[in-house]
Amino acid sequence: MEDAFARSVSEVLEFFAVDPSKGLTDSQVAEHARLYGRNVLPQEQSTPFWRLVLKQFDDLLVKILIASAVVSFLLALMNGETGLSAFVEPSVILMILAANAAVGVITETNAEKALEELRAYQADVATVLRNGCFSILPATDLVPGDIVEVCVGCKIPADMRMIKMLSDHLRVDQAILTGESCSVEKELDSTIATNAVYQDKTNILFSEVTPLKKKLDEFGTFLAKVIAGICVLVWIVNIGHFRDPAHGGLLRGAIHYFKIAVALAVAAIPEGLPAVVTTCLALGTKRMARLNAIVRSLPSVETLGCTTVICSDKTGTLTTNMMSVSKICVLQSVNHGPIAAQYSVSGTTYAPEGFIFDSNGIQLEIPAQYHSLLHIAMCSALCNESVIQYNPEKRIYEKIGESTEVALRVLAEKIGLPGFDSMPSALNMLSKHERASYCNRYWENQFKKISALEFSRDRKMMSVLCSRKQMDIMLTKGAPESILSRCTTILCNDDGSTVPLTAAIRAELESRFHSFAGKETLRCLALAWKKMPTGQQALSFHDEKELTFIGLVGMLDPPREEVRNAIASCMTAGIRVIVVTGDNKTTAESVCQKIGAFNHLEDFAGHSYTASEFEQLPALQKTMALQRMSLFTRVEPSHKRILVEALQHQNEVVAMTGDGVNDAPALKKADIGIAMGSGTAVAKSASDMVLADDNFTTIIAAVAEGRAIYNNTKQFIRYMISSNIGEVVCIFFAAVLGIPDTLMPVQLLWVNLVTDGLPATAIGFNKQDSDVMKAKPRKVNEAVVSGWLFFRYLVIGAYVGLATIAGFIWWFVYSDSGPKIPYTELMNFDSCSTRETAYPCSIFSDRHPSTVSMTVLVVVEMFNALNNLSENQSLIVIPPWSNLWLVASIVLTILLHMLILYVQPLAVLFSVTPLSWSEWTVVLYLSFPVIIIDEILKFFSRNSGLRFTFGFRRGDLLPKKELHDK
């Protein structure tokens, strides 16, 4: 319906044939889905395949290598070479570059697919009325004609025409769509403007595209420059060999060594690192999503490993958030002094199953016959925006809305209705679907809601204006201290009379409140009402005074069983937990004791503060308090941001949880903003991570996974650098020593293809180290590659290169199948044709020595890949089979290498030859020590704590996240 903004509400409803009180039926949903399609915004088109392929060749070094291969081919033709020899090297170079491009395309495609899957985890949801019941569905399942409920903080799931407004006004942020600098007010009236633009459509709520942020810095700039410089040196050092007769002239010799230098650069410089790092991060964040931690910003994965303080909400995060009313306090009578009556309520789930008991433990047969209890049920049902429904598939009662409001709905069901002697048994005869909200619907049918004042953090209360038979009343619920301060009268439970709220009665109620909140650790709400002038159509804040107190309810929200171990894990990992809550200090302290947050304390003094207490501290004492604080109570959203900033000024890396609209600034300011899955869309959009299950334990699992992801990325880079250093050492030192070329350009490219492809990517599947949560958080500015770690890279890389050269020399000097010439003869190979020798000069063109070298390089890098299962843990602790992907990639790499050795056409293309068993034995002897060397280095890393200051900084590795100033 293109012109819904210009039509009246009734016209729009009639067009879609929808009943606003029941919504669409299942058959209508199916028909509308067929007619109108899915509710999906158009996505940005992905990069075409052909463009991805061309991108892989859009590299200066690759272009230079292709050009040199073409020049080499032309020179061969000019010299009269027309056979296979003229085509072999250029064609193989092009073939390997094509294979490299294919690997690059696959890597980038997989990275993009992984990011797409992460976006799927962030799918929007909508609260929809269908078949007379509200339910939460994916926004993509919406069809035109659906009745959708939108509340404070929600993201608009589709373009929608407003048909009813339950509050006085509604403001929406549509800046992404229209560019308007502030939120705009919406109304129900149809638009009369001709050629209306978006700003004119004031009765339409728009859905907007909010793309996932992604910024990846290039790593290896320093490394690339160093390797490029070394490659130039390789060419310069070999100038003396340009005239070698084996090359057929000065120019061809120069081009030959130029190709070696460029091939070395292509092999050693990790141009594809950003895509592989993105893949590594995306794979890790998918694992985190399976743990119910949905990462919205890839850079935040790095920050998780640096987190030193977690500021966690209490309700729903440390507790189950399955709120249920367990205690009720009302005024019984004033005839014989102010006597407060106390009731207990059974049942701790959202099921409307439970009973009311008096102070003597006797069950009330008909709770609704008691005046205060009856008014509590009425207020609980009407001053409420939640929904409770039965899910037949899961066979449980589910909530839509705030847990405290759902608890009040369940209480109204347990109290029942007035005027029915057989009330409890009559309700039990209903189906579970009908029973879910039967009593609540009764009150909603009896009273018509006219206006509402939404809950706000400053007032700590909510009010609704209701009308019934020419009687208008205001029902209010909120924090006990806020309600009591506005009450002047109180309802008596025994006769329904209203009496003045004296100081003595107030003191008695406050005493019961402190008992509920303190010793019994209950979350308390007070309920009140007020008779309003007949015909009043709206509420104002000034109406919330001179109220009549109805009663006090205490809600139980038990701590999650698994939180105690998670808190202990945080302490072991060097992460401090600060519980941040708006609840009463005594209540929160009791919960903290139960979850182990105060286990290390004998006295809470200096560790537990209310927001007002903290604000009143002098500056120096505030600094000391921040270093010791474990609990922060009576907190408003503004205090959260203040806490984050104060901790960041002490160089702490702060994770902050939140769920409300007003929590967004604190979530944005925190180094890691963590929104609750049940929270508002505003909070989620301001966060870096969303907890799908609202569970504190998930945060700890995410920190562990974040550390593991970071470690895997480091291991991948370590493998790349040490392998590349080995290739550079091999070529450079061979030139310095004056021995023949150990590897040809095509062989270098082949090694790069098989070693930097599968094994490097498989390292991203490494499992967590067993001690990942035993290490202290790393510093924000700590080098990714510290001086000691870089020294380890150099040692391993140097061994890789020297082992490759050793294999080459061994064949000439010691191999039974080789010439067994003295080492000095090998160094003077280029003058062989100019002097008499005991051996033919053709031995220097034999393919065996370069095949041994090439095989040593491949095998030693496979052993080196096993070294990278963990940065410091021994292979005895983390065996190879802990990462079967890596084992499989190593096996496949060796099989591919054997393929080119033993399949004759391929052997010719790569200038290799089959190796004998004795030669394979030497290859293994030369390759395996890389394991022993790294085990020794790991031992020193675990025990000596050697560190140097030189290193690459954090920003070179991962996407940057502006810490402390998001």
Helix ranges (DSSP H) in 269-323: 273-290, 299-304
**Rounded to an integer, what distance in angstroms lies between the CA atom of residue 355 and that of residue 367?**
9
Please state the φ and ψ torsions of residue 523, each to the nearest 5 degrees: -90, 125
In three-state secondary structure terms, 722 is helix
| 911: DSSP letter | T
**Rounded to an integer, what distance in angstroms lies between the CA atom of residue 111 and that of residue 118?**
11
Helix ranges (DSSP H) in 416-520: 423-428, 432-435, 438-446, 480-484, 503-517
Please state the φ and ψ torsions of residue 343, each to the nearest 5 degrees: -125, 150
What secondary structure does DSSP assign to 798-837, as a single string? HHHHHHHHHHHHHHHHT-TTS----HHHHHTGGGGGGS--
* Catalytic option among 313, 472, 583, 688: 313
What CA–CA distances, in Å, run from 795 to 245, 260, 799, 936? 36, 24, 6, 11
**Rounded to an integer, what distance in angstroms lies between the CA atom of residue 629 and that of residue 641?**
16
How many residues are there in the chain? 966
Nearest alpha-carbon partner for 826 in 817, 914, 814, 264? 814
Query: Do residues 312 and 699 make contact, with C-beta atoms less than 8 angstroms apart?
Result: yes
In three-state secondary structure terms, 330 is strand
User: In whole angstroms, how large is the CA radius of gyration of the chain?
Assistant: 37
Torsional sign, CA 671, 676, 677, 678:
negative
Give the number of other Cβ atoms within 10 Å of residue 5's Cβ: 21
**Rounded to an integer, what distance in angstroms lies between the CA atom of residue 518 and that of residue 533?**
39
Contacts of residue 98, defined as CB under 8 A and 6 or more positions apart, other chains included, come to none
**Rounded to an integer, what distance in angstroms lies between the CA atom of residue 763 and that of residue 885?**
8
In three-state secondary structure terms, 346 is coil
Nearest alpha-carbon partner for 781 in 302, 361, 162? 302
What secondary structure does DSSP assign to 658-700, as a single string? E-SGGGHHHHHHSSEEEEETTS-HHHHHH-SEEETT--HHHHH
- Chain-centroid distance of CA 959 in Å reads 14
In three-state secondary structure terms, 125 is strand
**Rounded to an integer, what distance in angstroms lies between the CA atom of residue 525 and that of residue 509?**
12
**Rounded to an integer, what distance in angstroms lies between the CA atom of residue 138 and that of residue 399?**
16
Q: Which two tokens stand for residue 293?
A: 């931690």
Q: Is 543 a catalytic residue?
A: no
What are residue 24's DSSP bridge partners? 130
Query: Do residues 15 and 28 make contact, with C-beta atoms less than 8 angstroms apart?
Result: no
**Rounded to an integer, what distance in angstroms lies between the CA atom of residue 308 and that of residue 964?**
13
The b-or-e profile of 580-600 (16+ CB within 10 A means b, else e) is bbbbbbbbbbbbbebbbbbee
Letter for the amino acid at 635?
A: V
Strands 689-691 and 672-676: parallel
Longest dimension (CA), the chain: 130
Give the H/E segment covering residue 10: helix 9-16
Please state the φ and ψ torsions of residue 241, each to the nearest 5 degrees: -95, 0
Please state the φ and ψ torsions of residue 271, each to the nearest 5 degrees: -65, -30
Give the active site residues: 313
